[in-house]
Amino acid sequence: MPYLVLADGAVFRGEAFGAWPGERAQTDPLRSGEVVFNTSMSGYQEMVTDLSYAGQILVLTHPQIGNYGWHDEESEAGKVLLHGLVVKELAAGEGSRHADGSLAAFCAQHNIRGLSGVDTRALTRHIRRHGTLPGILCQDLSEGLAWLNRGQAEWPGLSPQRHWVYMATVSEPYEISGEGPLLAVLDFGAKLNILRALQQRGMRLKVFPAWTGAAEILRHRPAGLVLSNGPGDPGGLPEIAANLAELLPRLPILGICLGHQLLALAAGGATYKLPFGHRGGNHPVQDLRSGAATMTAQNHGYAVDAESLRPTGFEVAWRNLNDGTVEGMRHKSYPVLSVQYHPEGAPGPEENCTVWDEFLSWL
Cross-strand partners of 287? 318
DSSP state of 70: B
User: For residue 39, which of 130, 136, 125 has the smallest C-alpha distance?
Assistant: 125
DSSP state of 101: B
Cα–Cα distance between 253 and 74 in angstroms, integer? Answer: 27
The torsion angles phi and psi of 271, rounded to 5 degrees, stand at -125, 165
User: One of 83, 257, 278, 331 is an active-site residue; which one?
Assistant: 257
Cα distances (Å, whole numbers) of residue 171 to 165, 166, 226, 229: 11, 9, 18, 16
Asked if 353 is an active-site residue, the reply is: no
Asked if 107 is an active-site residue, the reply is: no
The sign of the CA dihedral 79, 261, 349, 38 is: positive
Asked if 23 is an active-site residue, the reply is: no
Known catalytic residues are: 257, 342, 344
